[in-house]
Chains A and B, each alone.
Chain A
């Protein structure tokens, strides 16, 4: 079964450092997402990406965050200057189409970011 893969699985970084989380979405999918989940809290939407541009972003996705699809397979999330409160599990996801009606969105296993 096709899957979304993420690297690294776990990263520890010092406050203020830049972090890049990488994702390889499912190959024929067109819509890509990043979500995060702070320990013990709900899964929160960060950003959606389609046709090489951001289609929607949440309040969490401020100027410290950016996304990129540098080639035909990777989708990255960059945090420019990490803060302690950025510590969370970050999930990448992809789907063929975002419309309602029951499209399946596939999530990766997550990248656990710890900011110290």
Chain B
């Protein structure tokens, strides 16, 4: 059983389209993070959400933390080829000194 399930697993869209990626769990978290990983590189932190219902924006990316702090979504507006990559949600669980990553969503934006 995965702690963090992401959907969809793969997404291939045309440049200019909008998309939403989901991260779901049955557990409650104090915070949740989103990373992007490009091929051959390490994950890079995009954002951390802490409060239930919180919405954060990073240019064309909108991140939301669920009210119950069990899930999160990432919405990209007008996707560009530079958005191509693996998007990972992750949590640091209290009492455990590690980051647990979700299953990942591989996004391809076609010019």
Residues of chain A lying within 8 A (CB to CB) of residue B88: 42-43
Task: Give the docked Cα–Cα distance between A48 and B97 (Å).
Answer: 6
Residues of chain A lying within 8 A (CB to CB) of residue B44: 107
Residues of chain B lying within 8 A (CB to CB) of residue A104: 45, 48
Chain B residues with a Cβ closer than 8 Å to the other chain, count: 27
Count contacts between A and B, CB distance < 8 Å. 69
B42 touches A107 (CB 8 A): yes
Among residues of B, the one whose C-beta sits closest to the C-beta of A89 is B40
Beyond A50-B97, A89-B40, A109-B42, 6 additional pairs, beta carbon < 8 A: A42-B88, A42-B101, A43-B88, A45-B99, A105-B45, A106-B45
A residues sitting closer than 8 Å to B (CB atoms) are 4, 31, 33, 35, 42-45, 48, 50, 55-56, 58, 89, 91, 93, 98-110, 112
